[in-house]
Amino acid sequence: MITTRRSFVCGAGAAASVAAFPQISLGGARQPETRPIPSSGERIPAVGLGTWITFNVGDDPLLRDECADVIAAFFASGGRMIDSSPMYGSSQAVVGHGLAKLGRADDVFSAEKVWTSSGRSGPAQIEQSRRFWGVPRFDLVQVHNLVAWNKHLPTLAEMKAAGRLRYFGITTSEGRRHDLLEEIMLSHPLDFVQLSYNIVDREAEKRLLPLAVERGIAVIVNRPFRQGALTRHLEDQQLPGWASEIGASSWAQFILKFILSHPAVTVAIPATTRVDHVRENIAAASGPFPDAAMRDRMAAYVRDL
Ligand SMILES: NC(=O)c1ccc[n+]([C@@H]2O[C@H](COP(=O)([O-])OP(=O)(O)OC[C@H]3O[C@@H](n4cnc5c(N)ncnc54)[C@H](OP(=O)(O)O)[C@@H]3O)[C@@H](O)[C@H]2O)c1
């Protein structure tokens, strides 16, 4: 059974139908579904690109160019959001290299982070990151892993008000500090929250994802593949024949479609070193999505493997 994301929002057991979210057809290539950022209504493609580890390749020119190839395939497939952090070693500079080489600095939706325990050094760190990327300003700056969040959030709000960034938010991963994140989501006007969520890590479904819908906060999903452990675990297993009903032709697409069919999710940001994988991941953002009954079936299938 398949359904639109909207009918899924309207409740379990909604009638099955093909996804009706906007997909622009350009030259026959299917474009990824776009989803609105609740605080502005601006739409962004539902699959982005992570850079932790995969883009931390140092100064090696060949490896940097391989990352640029991944970015090129990402844009060619309709992707826009790239996520990085000062925590990710050379990844920021490698993103900047790719954007400059491809001349795409104007096309990226830049999602960065501030990651320092000192509130005062936040703006300087953000400026350093901006130079690495070579963008005029960041679209989104997130407080990484809630580090010094009470110092950074007021600064990010001021920067947004002054037009020096477009959105701000906060991140966590692997289920850490959900109680505190919930408090912050309730008390601060965040544009985005970023957290871990996938077919086996579903803690966020209990409180954070419903709260994001209620508060109008966009959700970025990190670690969709548990840093590759999930795809590696599944790769020797048979993909069920009924995966074709939701347009999934690989385990990676099966997992991404599960994530993207949650009504709170705006963007998932899988990381990859491979051009074929980036194409496969973005393709998961088009075509049908599972409804509630199909989601249960998918989760049970993976659980029983
Ligand atoms: N607190 C935070 O703010 C936080 C924490 C964690 C992560 N993040 C963000 O979230 C991003 C994603 O999380 P992650 O890096 O932990 O890992 P992930 O996206 O869950 O997994 C990445 C791994 O999946 C593999 N993969 C990607 N596409 C695949 C495909 N189609 N088929 C098979 N394997 C595939 C990659 O290998 P190949 O290279 O072989 O494709 C890579 O090893 C990070 O890069 C980062 O930007 C943020």
Q: Is 271 in the pocket of ligand 1 (CB under 6 A)?
A: yes
- Domains of the chain: total: 1
Q: How far is the CA of 165 from the centre of ligand 1 (A)?
A: 25
Give dist(CA 187, CA 196) in Å, integer.
21
Is 119 inside a domain boundary? yes
* Nearest to 208, CA basis, from 185, 237, 232: 185
- pLDDT for res 29: 62
Is 27 inside a domain boundary? no
Full domain range(s) for residue 99: 43-227+260-287
Cα→Cα distances 183→146, 193, 194, Å? 12, 12, 15
Is 68 inside a domain boundary? yes
Q: Is 224 in the pocket of ligand 1 (CB under 6 A)?
A: yes
Is 139 inside a domain boundary? yes
Is 127 inside a domain boundary? yes
- pLDDT for res 3: 39
Q: How far is the CA of 50 from the centre of ligand 1 (A)?
A: 6
Which residue minimizes the CA distance to atom 19 of ligand 1?
270
Is 298 inside a domain boundary? no
Is 51 inside a domain boundary? yes
Give dist(CA 19, CA 15) in Å, integer.
12
Give dist(CA 167, CA 83) in Å, integer.
13
Identify whether the C-beta of residue 174 lies closer than 8 Å to the C-beta of residue 226: no
Q: How far is the CA of 209 from the centre of ligand 1 (A)?
A: 21
Is 5 inside a domain boundary? no
Q: What does pLDDT average to in each consecutive run of 10 residues of the chain (305 residues)?
A: 35 31 48 97 98 98 98 98 98 98 97 97 98 98 98 98 98 94 98 98 97 98 98 96 97 98 98 98 97 98 95
- pLDDT for res 175: 87
Q: Which CATH number covers residue 97?
A: 3.20.20.100
- pLDDT for res 30: 84
